[in-house]
Amino acid sequence: MRSKSLFTTLTLLLIASQVIADPPGKHIDPRGAHGRLIIAGGGTIPTQVYEQFQSWAGGNNAQLIIIPTASIRADDPDQVKEIITAWQLRGFKNVAVLHTRDRESADAREFVAPLLDATAVWITGGDQSKLSKAYSDTKVEEELIELLKRGGVIGGSSAGAAIQSKVMIAMGQLVPRIGTGFDLLPGTIIDQHFTQRNRLARLTVAVNRFDDLVGFGIDESTALAVDRRFMKVIGNGNVTVCLGKTRHQNTETAVYADGDYIDLTSMRRHARDRSSRPFPAERVNDVSVNKGSLVIVGGGGMPRPVLDKFIELAGGPEAKIIVLPTSMPDPISSDYGKKMFESVGATNVVVLRDRNKKDVEKESFLTHIKEADAIWFGGGRQWRFVDAYEHTKALPLMHDVLSRGGVIGGSSAGASIQAEFMVRGNPLGNRDPMAAGYTRGFGFIKGCGIDQHFAQRSRFADMSAVVDKHPQLLGIGIDEATALIVEGDVGEVLGNGSVHFYDRQKPLGNGDKDYVSVPSGKSFNLIERKLIEEQE
């Protein structure tokens, strides 16, 4: 009985450790919307919004469909003529109107036929419930999504904005009545006439109810121009982003003005992560690698001794090395990184360029990871690694490479991704050391955050900001052409520069540097957080 109890306890502990290691929540498709959207908050629409819509629609060759069903006058032939004339005056030569209030008609192939050749659709204002009642979950919605997938654009104002999120605010001043809209902007709730009609309260109630969704409140004379995941504010007012209250976080709002960019995927990930316990935890695991080893390079060149060390730790020239170049944008060369390893004698190098979840979870991809003696993460932008592998079957298999004594290495972005806390993960630029939604690395080494190109790009203050906010972390900054070789709790510096360690567990004197620089040839104890003195 005792051995069975012990086995059960160990099993539960193992399961618990796996849960802690896993990223929170569900997989979010990083690609964002199916295509391009214009989401306008009502009122007078600025000229630059129409110009962006027309540009995406195909310019003079645009085939525009207007859906006026939200209007109480949509059945009036005179209203239809007015709509067509107004859009022709804006420069659209080919304009048609699509309207019905009958769901059976909306589900007929003949009715949706005009959408098959359209390059653009505009949904006018009025009552979004009329749109939902007529078209939600019909062939009209299906064809709207198909239009986006083939490169078209869908725009709308007021009700035509609200309908673009699946969870739709139908009406209500303080307490929203929720309806069903179109699933055009995934993971969101859209509100309009926002500041002018004091709608912050009702959007807050909505996102508190659906705390995994991102609320967008769009002012009049303002629009969000959406290109898949990347969104730009255009117009005279603001866009307010609202995240709901969770067990661990209070309601959060941020305001964006004309010209500001927003990354939809970051916002969705942030909303998801807020439902989990705060990250990083107040008490973090020791900074060490229990099995296997890491080669963490600061970018800017690969000295021969670093390459030789990686090959040695992999098991020699015949070891199977997997190169993951997916921190780079497409197209990626089929031999990315391969020649670098072959130049120092490696004979079994495989480059895997797949980045979509479906492709990453194919057996052929997973088999390569299962057989790997070593994995190399290339340079680029580390958030792309997260998009490619988080919440896939591949990531646990990468950890297994270490468990069976292999080596994981990487340079630049491939350095930062190895830490538990990922520094510099903002998809909108690489200036921010901390980016909501992209702070979780792959955790091959726990309890730390890693930055690269360190002295060369003067990133000392950025790492200070990270450890000031998260003093439990060990901050590690790696110079270019320099590697930190981690085995157990020891980090050996190899290459042309230094590695800089930030430890907020130790008091700082006035005027003292807040980091310790360790040059090539020296080693640092990562658990005790101190330089290892040479033995006499």
Domains of the chain, residue spans: 36-273, 289-531
Q: Which structure tokens are listed for 396?
A: 């646990």
Spatial distance between the Cα atoms of 328 and 381, rounded to a whole number of angstroms: 7
Tens of pLDDT, residue by residue, the chain (536 residues): 333 343 333 333 333 343 334 567 889 999 999 999 999 999 999 999 999 999 999 999 999 999 999 999 999 999 999 999 999 999 999 999 999 999 999 999 999 999 999 999 999 999 999 999 999 999 999 999 999 999 999 999 999 999 999 999 999 989 999 999 999 999 999 999 999 999 999 999 999 999 999 999 999 999 999 999 999 999 999 999 999 999 999 999 999 999 999 999 999 999 999 999 999 999 999 999 999 999 999 999 999 999 999 999 999 999 999 999 999 999 999 999 999 999 999 999 999 999 999 999 999 999 999 999 999 999 999 999 999 999 999 999 999 999 999 999 999 999 999 999 999 999 999 999 999 999 999 999 999 999 999 999 999 999 999 999 999 999 999 999 999 999 999 999 999 999 999 999 988 878 789 999 999 999 999 999 999 987 54
Type of residue at 291: K
User: Phi, psi (5° rounding) for residue 367?
Assistant: -65, -40
Q: Which CATH class is domain 289-531?
A: alpha beta
CB 131 within 8 A of CB 121: no
Spatial distance between the Cα atoms of 384 and 427, rounded to a whole number of angstroms: 8
Within 8 A by CB and 6+ apart from 338, the residues are 323, 349, 351
pTM of the model: 0.93
Q: Which CATH class is domain 36-273?
A: alpha beta
Neighbour-count burial for 364-401, b at 16+ CB within 10 Å, e otherwise: ebeebbeebbbbbbbbbbbbbbbbbbbebebbebbbeb
